[in-house]
Copies of this chain bind each other. A is one copy, B any other.
Amino acid sequence: MTAQIVLDEYLATCQEACAGEMRQLFPPDEPGPSGLFDLILDYPLRGGKALRPTLSIAACLGLGGRLEAVLPTAATLELYHNAFLIHDDIEDESLLRRGRPALHVDHGIPIAINVGDAMMALSLQPLLDNVERVGLGPALRILRAVAAMTRRTVEGQAVELDWVRRNTWQLDDADYLAMVERKTSWYSFITPLQVGAMAAGADAAHLAPLEPLGRHLGAAFQITDDLLNLRADPEDYGKEIGGDLWEGKRTVMLLHALRHAAPADRQRAWQILARRRPDPDAGAALGDLLDALATSGDLTPAGRSEILGHLRGHGRAEVKALDDVRWLHDLLHRTGSLDHARTVAARQAEAAAAALAALDWFPASRHRDVLAGLVDYVHERTR
């Protein structure tokens, strides 16, 4: 078997174990009040890569721990991850998640907010049950790690939302990396690795060196994710294509392009980025209706533009057009920003590999091989 197949099988096994654990936490035959359990399991069972549970499981088993000791904690982190995704999708106005409508598109924003809250609320009990499972010391260490993790995640999210709100664009790679460390690396990489080690009974001296491994893995992962968003085919990738450009997401390549564009191009890019993405609700159909009314003589051209101007004026700036987004995409290429981002991602992956190599107390095993395989995977993946 090739290394890739071994890694894929390990990921699939972890995903299955984690999905089984979640089904036990939220039994489908006891759907909870008003189908809450079904809604909680919706995103997790859409078949993500189970990267976070796999990191926890590989760290735990690789350090001599048992699967049962880590599985509920791994499932809990996956629950947090999916809760963040649900709230992110509302905050970013994303319409799709893993190739299907986002939860708030299917069930409305109120229910989607509450399902995310429920997933966070229901994460505490399995972590408290760790006292019986792994002993008091490790259980408290895991709880403290999760408390610090969620704090950092919401802080990172606050930084990013504040950039959006203030229309902040003069940011460099260091700003981006600091935000991603808080928003993504802690909950997706550092904490999963550390709680896996804690469940195996690792002491503080062995926890600290897992932090740089997770930090660099997280950065390499996120930059690669952002690159995939730009180039992927709808068939290949379950998010909206170029959704990041429509949304105006701060990425290594977009920030690089703004720093390296000619002044006139930078000006034009800022103008485009200040525009909102079109509102799917009151979007194209309304324009078509107004055009039809204008053609039939029910509406004068002046009246048409007054209505459109009025609607746009309601708290929303001008709307991005497809040509705007195409022009931005072109700018990224002209400024060599994709290559720059690939270089930054590769450097982060190298730093992660070096951090893993430095863990001389982590015994050679297939679990360690999986961690090494994941270092390559996160920045070489194509989907």
Contacts and interface: CB of A to CB of B under 8 A. Distances in A.
Interface of A: 32-36, 39, 87, 90-92, 107-111, 113-118, 120-122, 124-125, 128, 131, 136, 140, 143-144, 146-148, 150-151, 153-159, 161-162, 164-165, 182, 281-282, 285-286, 289-290, 293, 296-300, 302-303, 306-307, 310-311, 314-315
**Shortest 10 CB-CB contacts between residues of A and residues of B:** A298-B303, A34-B162, A121-B150, A91-B110, A118-B154, A124-B147, A298-B300, A36-B158, A33-B155, A293-B303
Interface residues of A, dominant DSSP: helix
Given A36-B154, A121-B150, A87 B113 contact: yes
A315 B113 contact: no
A300 B147 CA distance: 60
A315 B151 contact: no
A182 B120 contact: no
Contacts of A110: 90-92, 161, 164
Contacts of A36: 154-155, 158
A286 B311 contact: yes
B146 A140 contact: no
B310 A302 contact: no
B107 A91 contact: no
Contacts of A282: 282, 311, 314
B125 A155 contact: no
Nearest to A290: B307
Contacts of A125: 144, 147-148, 151
A329 to B, nearest CB: 24
A162 B108 CA distance: 11
Contacts of A157: 114, 117
A206 B154 CA distance: 37
Contacts of A307: 289-290, 293, 307
A256 B2 CA distance: 69
A111 B161 contact: yes
A165 B146 CA distance: 34
A122 B39 CA distance: 25
Nearest to A315: B281
Given A131-B140, A159-B33, A306 B298 contact: yes
A151 B121 contact: yes
Nearest to A144: B128
B162 A150 contact: no
A121 B154 contact: yes
A2 B87 CA distance: 49
A314 B151 contact: no
B158 A118 contact: yes
A116 to B, nearest CB: 8
Q: Which of A111, A117, A296, A302 has the most CB of B within 10 A?
A: A117
A114 B91 contact: yes
